């Protein structure tokens, strides 16, 4: 895979940030284009590689930038579902552009990519430090959001007609693909507009990068909910609590909660296949748990067990083109009730779905730090004239990657990896339930 990040041209403007180029003077140094971060830290992978191993461009401020900050306009758009930390990213982008580089005109694009289509009539929002200084205290996004694609040519027309030099697109897989399409249309027209993606997905399913912002807050907020669900389960004889969490294609939130709150007895994720019936199926494992302890807590990711439904899921999609999942939590509740009714065993089942509460929460301290740093690294790359890239952390280092590198597939839990093994050890559930 080619990890070369596209540029708009030779950066020739001296950066207004007073940094150093000398090691040892106790002042942070500008990052040079020659600095690279290895994609893999495995010695085996390094030894097996023919030629230079795959490497990524290190993020950070450059000594020379492409845009003249006094003549530049930046715009910020947020798309897709809500996620903790969006306002933190918006705030840090505005503060960094204004105070680091002296960019005076920063526009907010309302309601996702719709805001780049004049017919919707959303207009623009002028973003200045005083307007955004406190927004990190709140969840959601002050710009609003939307799902679904818009006409790429019309969006680029809006950027060109409003003299926008940099577009920051904060969103997940669909948003990033849209940003790349905008960047390709800009290139086709020979325009000098930078398009930057800041990965936002609460599910942590963006490929290659270590994590996406909002993910840590999500399982942090979910953890006390699961703890309360445990109280519900233990408060009744044969009490069962089912908690459905986000995780359309990847079960990172559900598995992380199971590890962080060791009262979870079963965690079901999209990556695993499980049967309900049969000697080794889930229902028999649940029955054995109840016979032993008389209560159980089940955490299930929203995308788990979709093969258990009768309809063809590939035919039902949401506005973003994602497969619309059926409610696995309700299915489990019904199937568990039927199973124990057939055996004349009394159970008390509680089903809890806190998804909208979790995704609308403000970022916790760890995510707040992460959002701040992501935003700063994104604007450094943008001001240097890089385009069609995303900023992320790989092997603990902030890097720039071309958008197509992270949108080819979704990141998933490795069922043979240590992380999933840790979840299984925490729950004590069978390794296989099929």
Active site residues: 203
Distance CA 230, CA 182 (A): 47
Residue 189 in marked binding region: no
Give the residue from 387, 378, 401, 377 showing the smallest Cα distance to 6. Answer: 387
Q: Tell me whether residue 201 is annotated as binding.
A: yes
Instruction: Judge whether 113 and 146 are in contact, CB under 8 Å.
Output: yes
113 assigned to a ligand binding site: no
- Asked whether residue 235 is marked as a ligand-binding residue, the answer is no
Torsion (CA) 401, 402, 403, 404 in degrees, nearest 10:
-120
User: Is 202 part of any known ligand binding site?
Assistant: yes
- Please check if 95 is assigned to a binding site: no
134 is in an annotated binding site: no
Residue 427 in marked binding region:
no
For residue 376, say whether it is annotated as part of any ligand binding site: no
- Is 381 one of the annotated binding-site residues? no
Nearest-angstrom CA–CA distance, 41 and 31: 21
CA distance 141 to 138: 8
Residues whose CB is less than 8 angstroms from the CB of residue 290 and which lie 6 or more positions away in sequence, other chains included: 238, 240, 296, 345, 347
CB 434 within 8 A of CB 281: yes
197 is in an annotated binding site: no
> Which pair of tokens denotes residue 320?
């973003």
357 annotated as ligand-binding: yes
Q: Is 91 annotated as a binding residue?
A: no
**14 phi, psi to nearest 5 deg:** -65, 130
Cα–Cα distance for residue pair 351/270, rounded to 1 Å: 19
- Is residue 123 a known part of a binding site? no
Q: Is 303 annotated as a binding residue?
A: no
Q: How far apart are alpha carbons 162 and 159 in whole angstroms?
A: 5
Measured at the CA of 256, the angle between CA 37 and CA 236, to 5 degrees, comes to 180
Say whether 121 counts as a known binding-site residue.
no
CA–CA distances in Å: residue 71 to residues 74, 101, 247, 416: 10, 11, 43, 53
Contacts of 228 (CB under 8 A, 6+ apart): none
- Do 67 and 38 form a contact (C-beta atoms < 8 A)? no
Sequence-distant (6+) residues with CB within 8 A of 315 are none
Q: Please report, in range form, the residues annotated as the binding site for Mg(2+).
A: 173
Q: Please report, in range form, the residues annotated as the binding site for substrate.
A: 201-203, 246-248, 302, 356-359
Q: Please report, in range form, the residues annotated as the binding site for ATP.
A: 81, 147-148, 172-175
Q: Please report, in range form, the residues annotated as the binding site.
A: 81, 147-148, 172-175, 201-203, 246-248, 302, 356-359
């Amino acid at each position: 895979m080619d990890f070369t990040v596209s540029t708009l041209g030779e950066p020739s403007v001296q950066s207004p940030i007073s940094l150093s180029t000398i090691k040892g003077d106790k002042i942070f140094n500008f990052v040079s284009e020659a600095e690279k971060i290895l994609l893999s830290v495995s010695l085996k992978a390094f030894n097996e590689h023919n030629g230079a191993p795959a490497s990524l461009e290190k993020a950070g401020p450059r000594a020379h930038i492409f845009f003249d900050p006094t003549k530049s306009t930046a715009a910020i758009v947020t798309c897709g579902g809500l996620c903790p930390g969006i306002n933190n990213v918006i705030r840090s982008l505005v503060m960094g552009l204004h105070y680091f580089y002296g960019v005076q005109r920063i526009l907010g694009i309302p309601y996702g990519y719709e805001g780049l289509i004049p017919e919707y009539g959303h207009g623009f929002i002028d973003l200045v430090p005083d307007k955004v200084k406190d927004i990190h205290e709140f969840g959601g996004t002050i710009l609003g959001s939307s799902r679904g694609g818009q006409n790429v040519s019309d969006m680029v027309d809006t950027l060109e007609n409003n003299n926008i030099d940099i577009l920051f697109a904060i969103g997940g897989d669909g948003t990033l693909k849209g940003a790349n399409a905008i960047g390709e249309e800009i290139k086709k027209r020979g325009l000098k507009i930078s398009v930057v993606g800041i990965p936002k997905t609460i599910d942590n399913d963006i490929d290659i990068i270590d994590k996406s912002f909002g993910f840590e807050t999500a399982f942090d907020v979910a953890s006390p909910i699961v703890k309360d669900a445990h109280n519900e389960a233990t408060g009744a004889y044969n009490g069962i609590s089912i908690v459905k969490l986000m995780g359309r294609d990847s079960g990172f939130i559900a598995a992380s909660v199971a590890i962080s709150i060791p009262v979870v007895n079963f965690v079901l994720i999209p990556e695993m296949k499980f049967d309900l019936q049969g000697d080794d199926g889930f229902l028999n494992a649940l029955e054995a748990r109840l016979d032993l302890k008389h209560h159980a807590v089940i955490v299930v990711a929203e995308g788990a067990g979709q093969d258990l439904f009768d309809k063809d899921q590939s035919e039902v999609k949401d506005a973003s083109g994602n497969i619309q999942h059926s409610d696995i939590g309700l299915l489990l509740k019904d199937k568990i009730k039927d199973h124990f009714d057939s055996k004349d065993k009394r159970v008390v089942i509680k089903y809890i779905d806190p998804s909208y509460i979790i995704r609308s929460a403000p970022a916790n301290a760890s995510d707040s730090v992460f959002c701040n740093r992501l935003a700063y690294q994104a604007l450094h790359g943008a001001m240097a004239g890089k385009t069609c890239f995303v900023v992320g952390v790989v092997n603990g280092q902030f890097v720039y990657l071309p958008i197509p590198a992270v949108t080819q597939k979704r990141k998933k839990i490795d069922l043979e990896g240590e992380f999933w093994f840790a979840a299984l050890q925490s729950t004590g559930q069978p390794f296989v339930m099929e």
